Amino acid sequence: MKERVKSWTLTILVAISVLLTWQLWTYQPNYALLNESDYLPSESPGEELMLKDVIEPEQLILHNGNRHHGLDGTDHLLSTFYQQVLDSRFENITLNQGFRENEIYEGQRAAELIFPAPIPGEALERMLNFEADIPYFSIESVDRIIFIDKGGDSEKLRVKFISYEEPVVLEGETNFSLSTFRERYILNMSNYPAVFPFKVEGNTVIPKTLFLPERPVAYSYLSDTTTTINYNDYLQLLFSDADYVRQYHQDNQEASFTDGNRMMSLDENGDYLTYVNPVYSESSKDTQQHHVVTTTFDFINSRGGWTDYYRLYDWQQYRKKESATYRMIIAGLPVFESRGRDLASITVSRSGGQVTEFSRPLFNMDESPIDTKGSKTLASGQEILRYVKKQFDIKEVEDIRVGYAMDKTENLVVRFEPSWYVKYDGAWYSVAPEEKEDESGLE
């Protein structure tokens, strides 16, 4: 009797095993194998750049006593000045800790380069030509670079690298041509829009000074056509083995791809790519690793390179996560939004020393000239300040500047509309107090 029970038990177990094996072999999840022809190697969608190509100032402010005039990225003279800075040598650098705000400027004549995001000291050393063995090069990041003409018998420009967060100043000299500085910039400063200073507390130890236009300013409407970037190029770059990558569809997404761990998704009708690589690290931060800006810059260089024109616009360091954002620049101005979504930036995040997220647009602006379709007159600095003070807690405002809103249509045409933007609590918001349109040239 016992032997018969054992036989029946064994038979049932074998039957169950066969059934489970059959289900395992015949079960088909909602995955689709990638076509081998779609995964063939292709040319990189972008190009490798140098760090100085994506870290640039957004304003040049010229000071002469109580007079201030400013240039933004729409004026070629700003890029000319910055190129001379990159070609110059900096020496006799010393460190001044705990400086006061009224000690930033000396003398009557100065030029101030304002950057959209602080430049890490590590990146600054890669970009500029410093004398060897600077004993005090310990600055964490630089918000602004100020060139000072002290007059008298001085034969060289003084230079200050300002960090509002620490706060410290690196001071020294540069061989930037003193005669060019005076004749081309200071003596001609009245040719450029007058600006006035306004302090914002933001999130720095010492309040930053913004410079806003005294009069209303006009910027052009722009339009261009785009070319779609093949997402397969990034499948090659973000996944190490095609044999393990599967495609499936999710709600509100065109497609997603995964190898069981990493995932790449296409959003906004294929216009935007998001990549996630979840990692676990017991160490929240490796103190020996490079700065998040240089790490993310190198990552983009090695993952398809740079398409169009992007500039470092923000970076964050948290306890367990760090990120850097590179924003699209059109005709010298940043692009902030598209139908309420930010589709004009490349963002890379890392955790525990490893890149965990990567997002970017999947389209290129065509090389044909951007068309100008009329212009829009924006409010003056005083008007925008009055409006901002009504809409925001002014103590929490971090920045105010002009940028473009992007509208991308289904026929691959992109239109850009100028607007004032306010950075509040880490995000950018479009504000429009009674702006006027110039209908000439509008279709």
Confidence of residue 34 (pLDDT cuts 50, 70, 90): very low
The answer to whether 54 touches 123, Cβ cutoff 8 Å, is no
Percent of the residues in the chain that have a pLDDT greater than 70, as a whole number: 81
Smallest CA-to-CA distance from 432 within 393, 403, 407, 398 is with 403
pLDDT score at 42: 53
Q: What is the DSSP letter of 230?
A: P
Smallest CA-to-CA distance from 110 within 134, 145, 72 is with 145
Euclidean distance between CA atoms 65 and 67, whole angstroms: 6
Residue 285 or 117, more confident: 117
Sign for the CA dihedral angle at 424, 429, 430, 433 comes to negative
Q: What is the DSSP letter of 11?
A: H
Question: What average pLDDT does the chain have?
Answer: 83
* Run of H or E residues at 17: helix 2-26
Euclidean distance between CA atoms 63 and 325, whole angstroms: 31
Amino acid at 272: Y
Q: Which CATH number fits domain 224-364: 3.40.50.970, 3.20.20.105, 3.30.310.160, 3.40.50.10540?
A: 3.30.310.160
As a whole number, mean pLDDT of residues 353-372 equals 87
Euclidean distance between CA atoms 34 and 40, whole angstroms: 11
Euclidean distance between CA atoms 161 and 113, whole angstroms: 10
Provide the pairing of β-strand 89-97 with 129-130. Answer: parallel
Domain residue ranges in the chain: 55-214, 219-223+368-438, 224-364
Smallest CA-to-CA distance from 253 within 263, 266, 262, 271 is with 266
Helices (H) and strands (E) in the chain, counts: 8, 27
Strand partners, 71: 60
The answer to whether 195 touches 212, Cβ cutoff 8 Å, is yes
pLDDT score at 140: 87
Euclidean distance between CA atoms 147 and 157, whole angstroms: 6
Q: Distance from first CA to last CA of the chain, Å, rounded?
A: 95
User: What phi, psi does 127 have (nearest 5°)?
Assistant: -95, -40
pLDDT tens-digit profile of 390-419? 999 988 899 999 999 998 877 788 999 999
Residue 105 or 385, more confident: 385
Q: Which residue has the tokens 């489970």?
A: 20
Greatest CA separation found in the chain? 116
Residue 287 CA, distance from chain mean position: 24
pLDDT score at 388: 94
pLDDT score at 295: 94
Check whether 38 has a pLDDT greater than 90.
Answer: no
Q: How far is CA 316 from CA 217, 232, 312, in A?
A: 32, 30, 12
The answer to whether 326 touches 53, Cβ cutoff 8 Å, is no
Confidence of residue 154 (pLDDT cuts 50, 70, 90): confident
Euclidean distance between CA atoms 132 and 431, whole angstroms: 47
Confidence of residue 341 (pLDDT cuts 50, 70, 90): confident
Check whether 142 has a pLDDT greater than 70.
Answer: yes
As a whole number, mean pLDDT of residues 267-290 equals 74
pLDDT score at 68: 96
